[in-house]
Amino acid sequence: MTELDYCMSNKVYFGNAYFIIGNAYAGKSTMVKELAKRHDGIVCEENYHDNYPEELDAYEFPCLTYTRDLADWHDFIRRSPQEYKAWIDGVKKECEVLELRMLPEICCKGKPVFVDTNISIETLRKIAPVDHTLVMLADPMISVRRFFERPDPEKQFLYRLIMEEPDPEYAMENYRKGLELINSKETYDAFLNSGFNAIIRDEKRTIEQTLTLVEKAFGLEKGL
């Protein structure tokens, strides 16, 4: 029985959880943190599944354990764009499994839960009210152009690996092509046409203004 089957058969319905999905640089992480502060809730930030208390089995979670068991990190950035995208897609599916294992306990604490999630569109339609999922989107090319501009230690580590390659220019181009596949227009359109409320990134909008739009989409303008 899969985690989704378990949730469905046991009528686990995440009525106090609010999910934000979408692509990179859309503001998802910022919004879940701001919502939790504003509404005295619990925040499940990006990659919160990393806090899963048990060691992951490489057979069950080959994508999530790939970097854990990696002997040479240069192999990570040497993969073809297609291999990189396939790995990212696999990671998302495995993250969904962990999230569905973790969320029942998180949601039983009696507070609203705001989730920057990897759970798929199809699954979200089954486990939560339709107005509890929000899509946030940014121009797909932003992540390609600005991926290494963020000070995140992980991104700067990858940048250093690329610069250490015999042909750094080729290595960078190869990596950016992978980012383009991951952040394709097809993926963007799938989110946009998912049937959930959507908010498009606007550089002129403040965080507070975006938060107001998010609260309206979730029906939280007047509090919970």
What's the mean pLDDT in 134-140? 95
Res 200: pLDDT = 96
Res 48: pLDDT = 95
Query: How confident is residue 151, by pLDDT bands cut at 50, 70 and 90?
Result: confident
What's the mean pLDDT in 169-185? 95
What's the mean pLDDT in 152-180? 94
Res 9: pLDDT = 65
Q: Which amino acid, one-letter code, is at 76?
A: F
Q: Which two tokens stand for residue 216?
A: 């309206």
Domain residue extents for the chain: 3-215
How do residues 52-100 score in pLDDT, each as one tens digit?
999 999 999 999 999 999 999 999 999 999 999 999 999 999 999 999 9
pLDDT at 224 over 60: no
What's the mean pLDDT in 190-205? 95
CB 189 within 8 A of CB 176: no
The mean of the pLDDT values for the chain is 93
Least confident of 5-14, 43-52, 86-95, 170-179: 5-14
Radius of gyration of the chain (CA): 18
Tell me how far apart the alpha carbons of residues 22 and 135 are, in angstroms, rounded to a whole number: 5
Cross-strand pairs, 134: 20, 197
Tell me how far apart the alpha carbons of residues 210 and 199 are, in angstroms, rounded to a whole number: 8
Q: Which CATH class is domain 3-215?
A: alpha beta
pLDDT at 142 over 80: yes
β-pairing, 113-116 vs 17-22, is parallel
What's the mean pLDDT in 208-220? 96
How do residues 155-164 score in pLDDT, each as one tens digit?
899 999 999 9
- pTM for this one? 0.92
